[in-house]
Chain A
Amino acid sequence: MATVLERVTKVVVDRLGVDESEVKVEASFREDLGADSLDVVELVMELEDEFDMEISDEDAEKIATVGDAISYIETKVS
């Protein structure tokens, strides 16, 4: 079973077309990974599908970095 980090990394790589090595925990989707605001919305949608969960709009607004996404998912799925 892939870890949350691995699964998030795969979604980010697929969606944003970045290299896996760029997907670091501290990387900001918008500032470091070249995402625009719509890309982030889409990314959250795909994370919802990947982890079979719902992320409210309020929570989604707080997810700015790869690490934010991972820790949010870990608190919800564990």
Chain B
Amino acid sequence: MGKLDGKTAIVTGASRGIGRAIALQIASEGANVVVNFSGSEQKASEVVKEIQNLGSQAIAVQANISDNNSVQELMNATMEQFGAIDILVNNAGITRDNLLMRMKEDEWDDVINTNLKGVFLCTKAVTRQMMKQRAGRIINISSIVGVMGNAGQANYVAAKAGVIGLTKTTARELASRNILVNAIAPGFITTEMTDTLPEDVKSSMLNQIPLAKLGNPEDVAKAVVFLASDDASYMTGQTLHIDGGMYM
């Protein structure tokens, strides 16, 4: 018996990193998973295979979440395969770091389009089905930097802070239809992205974290399972900080 038996979930950006861990974790709780990816088809199909080995169903669907037609195709593929959308995890994100004074307009636009507009488009697209079902969970992956700010990431921070505002508004608009919307703000999590950081950067990061270690993708994934499950049926519009106490 899993916490998400028989549910259908879409996880955007699920071929790698935190998204991959989320897809696997919710599948291990019994959910069918739509593994959305943008470029890494091979990695997405590996995630699908792993999910099938866990005994759940999964499909990989390529979609550019900053493009509305592409998002509609993602929804259509989900409905065709599973006939419902119970959970949306808006996880897909990119970075184009630069100092504000050096940041190009396209670096700004790319990050806002994927990390913020993409959340809007996917949310809008699932809402129709969730309203009909009179039930749904939307979980937006924000970031600690969306709350604290971070030098060199004006675009990313603006998008992640925007996601928190979007979460609260969506939560208010859809509460009467039993669609619950929450955000998660991960701190420093071990992924391919953090693996490449130099040792001195890592140790200065650890000094800011009360628990004095990086988080694992699974730490975030387990919070997603909680927010998607019946255990979280009386919370909406919240942001859970999974960051070892770095922000409090």
Residues of chain A having any CB pair with chain B under 8 Å:
38, 42, 45
Contact = CB atoms under 8 A, between A and B. Distances in A.
In the A-B complex, the 4 residue pairs with the smallest Cβ-Cβ separation, listed nearest first, are A42-B131, A45-B128, A38-B176, A38-B173
A17 B128 CA distance: 20
* B interface, size bucket: under 10
Interface of B: 128, 131-132, 173, 176-177
Contacts of B128: 45
Contacts, number: 7
A38 B176 CA distance: 9
A43 B50 CA distance: 41
Contacts of A42: 131
B120 to A, nearest CB: 14
Contacts of B131: 42, 45
A40 to B, nearest CB: 12
A45 to B, nearest CB: 6
A45 B128 CA distance: 8
B135 to A, nearest CB: 14
7 contacts: A38-B173, A38-B176, A38-B177, A42-B131, A45-B128, A45-B131, A45-B132
A42 B128 CA distance: 8
B141 to A, nearest CB: 26
A45 B132 CA distance: 9
